Amino acid sequence: MSKAKSDQLFNLIQSLSKGEKRFFKLYAARLNTRSDKKFVILFDAIERQKVYDENKIIAKEKSLNPTQFSNLKAHLYYQLLKSTKLCNSSDLENIKITELLDYARILYNKCLYKECVKMIDKAKAMAMENDRSVLLLEILELEKLVLPKTLESGNEQRVNFLINTTNHVAASIKNINIFSNLSLKLNSYYVQTGFSRSKKDLEKVSAFFNASLPKYKEKDLSFQEKLYLYNSFVGYYFFIQDFSKGYVYANKWVDLFEQQPEMKRHKLEMYIKSLNSLLAVQNKLYKYKEFAETQKQLIAIKRDKTLVLTENINLNLFKAIYVHEMNRHFMLGEFKSGIRIVGALENELNKFIPKLDKHSVLLIYYKIACLYIGSGNYKMGIKWLNKIYNEKEIDLREDIYSFARILLLVCHFELGNDYLVESNIRSTYRYFRKKGELSQYQKYILNFLRYLFIDPSELHLKKQFNTLKKQMLSLESSKYERRAFMYFDIITWLESKIENRSIQEIVKEKARKKID
């Protein structure tokens, strides 16, 4: 078993809950063979470790043969997956439906056709109730095999119903596939570049989106079809920065769950995603009162005892709650209290960071850096910006890497690190030219910082700040340049320098007007 697979085994064991570990011991005890006792010894040895060390285990556990160690690890890994599946079978609908389908196949192979039909009906009812279209199609295919073997009165009626249902489910799956693929592709664009940067970006994505959408009547779509349709529309409007239309579809997405609240349990990850999307557009549109209510709905998931919170769900919840709590402080201009939240949750953040995708990690680091900069703590801002540079996935979120460079220049300027500002200007210029994306916004800032050192007098500085402010105000209404202001509110920073006031004070003032 390779090092990567050893890490997978260690990570799996560390992810198990106390109940799952206890169930595994009971499951292993029932197997009761000599080799099974060995994999329990290995399980205990790995479970005790905080960092995986194979050599220590082999040296301590003399009953474990080093030549058989690789096979033993592989055996333990799959036994753990089996026992965890059994442990959670009462909670996960997919597992229960699959189990009923497996029983139906066994009965079919034993020529117990009537019993098979009864099991199919149970599986079918559960799949329909939980809107599991793919599993439902599998069940219907088995029903087609067994139906000719159970001829009785009303058979033709059942056959016609089966054919109609299969056609409807197949059409629904086709739409779900198109909508989900569309959403995935849009997410891929966004994760790579951020918001649309140019007319070329906009035309490319719009052409792709409109060409990919099939003909449909919204009122005729199933719950799951609507789920993925609204998801793709939110992604599209978010990418092209049309937040008003994104807001309409995000509301539709959340309303789906309000109209069918039982689906929250069956599609919990998508429910969290819908609330996350609605919070994102409410934040962009400064709908603070609505944002606060949606935030309560998100936090309430943690306290809802009817919902099964897996490790994956907890990770999604933590990310959404953490990011939107920071967004709330940004909206209100409460940077200093936002920093206290970061400090209070830093241990929890460090626990979840290794499990988060690189895109989410970059986003969190950038938001934390902005909180520190907004509060005037530029040293800590640099610390969190440097964390972005330490991530190797440069092909992700080029926009965040680009604006992190701009913010780093601002931080060094504020700290009086003149030499670092000058050297970073040169490297930042090279970086933007290499990426081929030097926007007017970036040109203005780099030229401003370059000419700032010609004359260090206060009069010259004020003049430069005012000149840059006028240039930036001219870009605010530009369809493609305005995206830059979502990453760094340069105008507020300039006003703080011109008026000799804190960034927090000015943002709070603006926030009150926007929210009112």
Answer yes or no: is pLDDT of 378 > 90: yes
Among residues 68, 87, 106, which one ends one of the domains? 87
Greater confidence, 37 or 166? 166
Residue among 407, 410, 493, 516 at smallest CA distance from 507: 493
Cα separation, 464 vs 456, in Å, equals 11
- Asked whether residue 266 is domain-assigned, the answer is no
Q: Report which residue type is found at 70.
A: S
- Asked whether residue 190 is domain-assigned, the answer is no
Cα separation, 367 vs 172, in Å, equals 39
Answer yes or no: is pLDDT of 270 > 60: yes
Cα separation, 143 vs 136, in Å, equals 10
Give Dmax (Cα) for the chain. Answer: 98
Among residues 58, 87, 116, which one ends one of the domains? 87
Provide the residue range defining the domain that includes 15. Answer: 3-87
- Asked whether residue 150 is domain-assigned, the answer is no
Q: Checking phi first, is residue 417 left (phi over 0); if not, alpha (psi -120 to 50) or beta?
A: beta
Cα–chain center distance at 240 = 19
CB 96 within 8 A of CB 32: no
Cα–chain center distance at 280 = 12
Which among 21-30, 61-70, 379-388, 492-501 has the top mean pLDDT? 379-388
* Structure tokens that stand for 37 in this block: 């006792």
Cα separation, 409 vs 422, in Å, equals 9
Which among 183-192, 291-300, 407-416 has the top mean pLDDT? 291-300
Specify the 3-state DSSP secondary structure of 217. coil
The residue to which tokens 């439906």 are assigned: 97
- Asked whether residue 465 is domain-assigned, the answer is yes
Name the domain count of the chain: 2
What's residue 344's pLDDT?
A: 78
Which among 267-271, 307-311, 483-487 has the top mean pLDDT? 267-271
* Structure tokens that stand for 240 in this block: 């092209």
User: Which of 186-190, 245-249, 491-495 shows the lowest mean pLDDT across its residues?
Assistant: 186-190
Cα separation, 155 vs 146, in Å, equals 12
- Asked whether residue 177 is domain-assigned, the answer is no
Which among 239-243, 245-249, 362-366 has the top mean pLDDT? 245-249
What's residue 453's pLDDT?
A: 65
Residue among 139, 213, 212, 214 at smallest CA distance from 169: 139
Provide the pLDDT confidence category of residue 392 given band limits of 50, 70 and 90: low
Could you give the C-alpha distances from 96 to 52, 81, 101, 109, 142, in angstroms and in order? Answer: 34, 16, 9, 20, 17
CB 114 within 8 A of CB 143: no
What's residue 380's pLDDT?
A: 93
CB 496 within 8 A of CB 502: yes
CB 456 within 8 A of CB 170: no
What's residue 351's pLDDT?
A: 81
The residue to which tokens 């007017």 are assigned: 440
Q: Report which residue type is found at 340.
A: R
Cα separation, 492 vs 339, in Å, equals 19
- Asked whether residue 485 is domain-assigned, the answer is yes
Among residues 53, 87, 121, which one ends one of the domains? 87
Cα separation, 434 vs 462, in Å, equals 32
- Asked whether residue 335 is domain-assigned, the answer is no
Residues 82-111 have pLDDT tens digits of: 888 777 665 567 788 888 999 999 999 989
Residues 350-371 have pLDDT tens digits of: 888 888 888 888 889 989 999 9
Answer yes or no: is pLDDT of 290 > 80: yes
Answer yes or no: is pLDDT of 18 > 90: no
- 450: Cβ contacts below 8 Å, ≥ 6 apart: 425
pTM of the model: 0.79
Cα–chain center distance at 103 = 36
Percent of the chain surpassing pLDDT 90: 27
Provide the pLDDT confidence category of residue 389 given band limits of 50, 70 and 90: confident
CA terminus-to-terminus distance, the chain: 61
CB-based burial of residue 33 (10 Å sphere; 0-12 exposed, 13-18 middle, 19+ buried)? Answer: exposed
Answer yes or no: is pLDDT of 27 > 60: yes
Percent of the chain surpassing pLDDT 70: 92
For 345-350, the CB contacts below 8 A with 24+ separation are 348/318, 349/322
- Mean pLDDT over the full length of the chain: 85
Q: What is the CATH number of the domain that holds 490?
A: 1.25.40
* Structure tokens that stand for 510 in this block: 């603006």
Residues 453-481 have pLDDT tens digits of: 666 666 777 788 888 888 888 887 777 77
| Region 23-27 average pLDDT | 81
- Asked whether residue 309 is domain-assigned, the answer is no
Greater confidence, 452 or 80? 80
**Torsions phi, psi for 62 (to 5 deg):** -70, -20
Dihedral, CA atoms, 56, 58, 63, 69, nearest 10 degrees? 140
Provide the pLDDT confidence category of residue 436 given band limits of 50, 70 and 90: low
